[in-house]
Amino acid sequence: MRLSFIQVSSSRLGASAKCPACGTGALLSFNWELARTSEQPRRDVSAFVHPRQLRYGVLYECVACSQPWYLCGEPQVMNAVAPERLSLIDRWFQRWQTRA
Ligand SMILES: [Zn+2]
């Protein structure tokens, strides 16, 4: 067994995924680079569509359930966005866009 100190993903213990495509409900975040490049764990990143470039990071949504996901950081981590936080991100994005 090989131990890794790179955080691969974080999940809600005991919860089951509401969406099989993105894993929302159980999955909270995962390492985007690892998901795209490694065979283990295998994750289908094609479920994440409609990237919107924000000032910091990129907002995606799940092709199956429209759950918003926010990609940011170094290394890049994809985070499930709580629905109540989406309007905040939207407002922030629009303000940034009108200023640019
Ligand atoms: Zn989904």
Asked whether residue 2 is assigned to any structural domain, the reply reads: no
Look at the chain and report how many structural domains it folds into: 1
The identity of residue 12, as a single letter, is: R
CA of 49 to the centre of ligand 1 (A): 10
CA of 92 to the centre of ligand 1 (A): 24
Query: Residue 19: which domain range?
Result: 9-99
Asked whether residue 33 is assigned to any structural domain, the reply reads: yes
Asked whether residue 1 is assigned to any structural domain, the reply reads: no
**What pLDDT is attached to residue 23?**
94
Asked whether residue 35 is assigned to any structural domain, the reply reads: yes
* Model confidence, pTM: 0.81
Q: Tens digits of per-residue pLDDT, 13-23? A: 889 999 999 99
Asked whether residue 82 is assigned to any structural domain, the reply reads: yes
**Helix, strand, or coil (residue 100):** coil
**What pLDDT is attached to residue 93?**
75
Residue in 34, 14, 29, 18 with CA at minimum distance from that of residue 66: 18
What's the pLDDT band for 89 if we cut at 50, 70, 90? Answer: confident
**What pLDDT is attached to residue 80?**
96
Answer for the pair 60, 69: CB distance below 8 angstroms, yes or no: yes
CA of 61 to the centre of ligand 1 (A): 8
What's the pLDDT band for 6 if we cut at 50, 70, 90? Answer: low
Asked whether residue 4 is assigned to any structural domain, the reply reads: no
Residues 43, 49, 51, 52: is their CA dihedral positive or negative?
negative
What's the pLDDT band for 42 if we cut at 50, 70, 90? Answer: low
What's the pLDDT band for 28 if we cut at 50, 70, 90? Answer: very high
CA distances from 18 to 27, 79, 83, 86 (A): 10, 16, 14, 19
